[in-house]
């Protein structure tokens, strides 16, 4: 009897639990539409990246619903634009890793008794040993104002023994990153002269020509040629990643067609980035050195570039993040055309198959699935160097006789990097017709070769791509705020409707955003 009672009690408990669960499930079950308060919360999270304030909630007490006017205010606010920049940085996979982005670095060294700014990488060049300058004001200069040693053959501390060290003191300098202030800098490191050690034949040369190791070359006027570690080094890195996102912002805020951000000759630049391009960038590109002169603390603004530019696709941050032409094409198609490149369903054939020996990837079995699109598209970046350099070569040689005639195993690194050589030969004679051509022009038709001079803007401006770019723009943002992928039915129906609305509004991104977040699909719980 006791066992029965216990059993019945257990059943009752389970029944109660089940009933409680059912009630809970009923309470938490999806509803057709969010109420105005939950709708505001969702909007604020998606458009601002935060939950609403008490004041924002209280505003709803006296009105029936979240109005169009409230949504207009939200998409016009600084918070929304900050969120928009984060959205585009994510689209672009904004990360430069540990790339060597700057030349000389100046940093503060010492202890509580003596602290001074110096370039650690050049201590050997300046003083003969890896040591700091002396704790004394530098007073010994030549007639032209160049610092002369305070002490020759200094033999104390780490300089004891041998030839000793050539020592300098410190000078006070107003750094470009903090105008109106002064810091103590080792005199050799602070050199502002632009003339370097003459060439072996006596011909003059500048510090730009001599490289970072020249002992006569310092950080320049106001330390302009050096990046300040722990002050603006990380900020410079972030500004390079921010440039494409800011360009999107400029285009969107101006009400221009969204796709202009992929083709305009303009870019976005602030004072820090302008300074970086003019004085700090390691890349030997004349255009960088001609960046506009802006106050270091100048806010972001739109600036014009040379006519060969193509929006974010030729910003330094994009080109260095995607350092090969194929990587650039891949990111464009994946992020902005929603067309990622994937291996064929059956996978790639064996590398030993005869069909796998074709050096032309656009025709090689298995590879052609992707590369018949990728290879012609790379030509649009053909005048831009690959790798870590930001260089547009207007006069690049499309054919090299030296590279065409070098033998396999003896071709220079230059030839192997930029031109088709015997090194690419998979079977005897397989590259004969293409030898000496610029790699990006190999196996290309005459029409495809012409893309070398049109740049990426011509690629994204193709009429057949404009619809694809528009559709992908709507899809990307919809999936971003929905927190899920669009269903097949949505892609064939709802997405086309929203894309049509986007086009009828002149591809105005803000109007698209308002259209999506005002839609009943956005407002209901799935």
Q: How confident is the model at residue 64 (pLDDT cuts 50, 70, 90)?
A: very high
pLDDT digits (tens, 9 = 90+) for 448-488: 999 999 999 999 999 989 999 999 999 999 999 999 999 99
pLDDT of res. 9 = 36
Nearest Cα residue to 510 out of 184, 307, 256: 256
| Structure-model confidence comparison of residues 403 and 525, the more confident one | 403
pLDDT digits (tens, 9 = 90+) for 170-217: 999 999 999 999 999 999 999 999 999 999 899 999 988 877 789 999
Do strands 267-269 and 170-173 pair parallel, antiparallel, or not at all (unpaired)? unpaired
* HEC sequence for 386-421: CCCCCCECCCCCCECHHHHHCCCCCCCHHHHHHECC
Residue 134 pLDDT > 60 = yes
Q: Which residue has the tokens 């709507």?
A: 474
Cα(435)–Cα(130) distance, rounded to whole angstroms? 49
208 three-state secondary structure: helix
Nearest Cα residue to 340 out of 350, 329, 348, 351: 329
Cα(198)–Cα(205) distance, rounded to whole angstroms? 6
Q: How confident is the model at residue 282 (pLDDT cuts 50, 70, 90)?
A: low
Residue 70 pLDDT > 80 = yes
In the chain, what is the straight-line distance between the N-terminal and C-terminal CA atoms, in Å? 49
pLDDT digits (tens, 9 = 90+) for 333-367: 999 999 999 988 888 888 888 888 899 999 999 99
pLDDT digits (tens, 9 = 90+) for 8-23: 334 343 344 343 333 4
Q: How confident is the model at residue 49 (pLDDT cuts 50, 70, 90)?
A: very high
Burial state string for 411-449 with b = 16 or more CB within 10 A and e = fewer than 16: beeebbebbbbbbbbeeeeebeebbbbbbbbbbbeeebb
Cα(10)–Cα(52) distance, rounded to whole angstroms? 46
Cα(515)–Cα(522) distance, rounded to whole angstroms? 10
Q: How confident is the model at residue 96 (pLDDT cuts 50, 70, 90)?
A: confident
pLDDT digits (tens, 9 = 90+) for 483-493: 999 999 999 99
Residue 510 pLDDT > 90 = yes
| Structure-model confidence comparison of residues 391 and 62, the more confident one | 62
Integer CA distances (angstroms), 460 to 84, 337, 380, 391, in order: 22, 10, 10, 21
Mean pLDDT of 260-284: 90
Torsion 269-272-275-280 (CA) sign: negative
Rg (CA), the chain: 31
Cα(215)–Cα(202) distance, rounded to whole angstroms? 17
Residue 429 has φ and ψ, to the nearest 5°, of: 85, 0
pLDDT of res. 16 = 42
Can you give the residue ranges of every domain in the chain?
1-30, 32-75, 104-224, 322-398+438-460, 463-523
Cα(415)–Cα(426) distance, rounded to whole angstroms? 17
pLDDT of res. 213 = 84
pLDDT digits (tens, 9 = 90+) for 371-430: 999 999 999 999 998 887 778 888 899 999 999 999 999 999 999 999 999 999 999 999
Residue 515 pLDDT > 50 = yes
Q: What is the mean pLDDT of the chain?
A: 90
Q: How confident is the model at residue 284 (pLDDT cuts 50, 70, 90)?
A: low
Mean pLDDT of 71-95: 95
């Amino acid at each position: 009897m006791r066992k029965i009672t216990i059993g019945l009690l257990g059943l009752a408990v389970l029944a109660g639990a089940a009933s409680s669960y059912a009630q809970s499930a009923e309470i938490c079950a999806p509803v057709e539409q969010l109420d105005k308060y939950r709708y505001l919360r969702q909007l604020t999270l998606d458009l601002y990246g935060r939950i609403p304030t008490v004041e924002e909630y209280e505003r709803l007490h006296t009105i029936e619903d979240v109005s169009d006017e409230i949504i207009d205010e939200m998409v016009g606010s600084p918070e929304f634009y900050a969120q928009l920049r984060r959205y585009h940085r994510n689209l672009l996979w904004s990360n430069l890793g540990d790339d060597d982005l700057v030349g000389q670095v100046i940093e503060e060294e010492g202890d509580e008794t003596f602290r001074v700014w110096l370039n650690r990488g050049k201590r050997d060049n300046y003083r003969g040993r890896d040591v700091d300058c002396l704790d004394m004001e530098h007073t010994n200069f030549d007639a032209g104002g160049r610092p002369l040693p305070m002490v020759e053959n200094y033999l104390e501390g780490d300089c004891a023994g041998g030839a000793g060290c050539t020592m300098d003191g410190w000078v006070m300098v107003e750094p470009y990153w903090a105008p109106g202030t002064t810091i103590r800098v080792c005199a050799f490191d602070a050199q502002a002269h632009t003339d370097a050690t003459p060439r072996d034949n006596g011909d003059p040369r500048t510090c730009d020509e001599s490289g970072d190791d020249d002992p006569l070359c310092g950080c320049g006027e106001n330390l302009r040629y050096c990046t300040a570690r722990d002050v603006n080094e990380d900020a410079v890195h972030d500004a390079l990643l921010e440039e494409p996102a800011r360009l999107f912002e400029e285009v969107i805020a101006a009400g221009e067609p969204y796709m202009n951000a992929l083709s305009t000759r303009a870019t976005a630049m602030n004072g820090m980035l302008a300074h970086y391009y003019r004085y700090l960038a390691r890349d030997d590109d004349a255009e960088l050195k001609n960046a506009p002169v802006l106050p270091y603390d100048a806010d972001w603004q739109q600036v014009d570039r040379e006519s060969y530019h193509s929006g974010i696709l030729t910003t330094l941050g994009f080109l260095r993040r995607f350092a090969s032409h194929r990587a650039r094409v891949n990111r464009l198609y994946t992020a902005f055309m929603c067309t990622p490149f994937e291996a064929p369903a059956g996978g790639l054939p064996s590398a030993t198959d005869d069909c796998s020996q074709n050096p032309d990837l656009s025709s090689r079995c298995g590879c052609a699935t992707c590369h018949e699109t990728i290879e012609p598209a790379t030509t649009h970046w053909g005048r831009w160097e690959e790798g870590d350099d930001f260089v547009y070569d207007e006069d690049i040689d499309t054919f090299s006789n030296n590279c065409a005639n070098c033998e396999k195993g003896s071709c220079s690194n230059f030839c192997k990097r930029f031109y088709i050589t015997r090194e690419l030969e998979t079977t005897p004679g397989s590259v004969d017709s293409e030898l000496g051509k610029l790699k990006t022009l190999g196996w290309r038709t005459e029409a495809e070769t012409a893309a070398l001079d049109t740049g990426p803007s011509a690629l994204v401006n193709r009429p057949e791509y404009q619809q694809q770019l528009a559709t992908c723009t709507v899809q990307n943002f919809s999936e971003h705020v929905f927190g899920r992928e669009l269903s097949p039915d949505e892609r064939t129906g709802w997405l086309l409707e929203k894309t049509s609305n986007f086009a009828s509004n002149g591809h105005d991104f803000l109007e698209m955003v308002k259209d999506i977040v005002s839609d009943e699909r956005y407002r209901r719980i799935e």
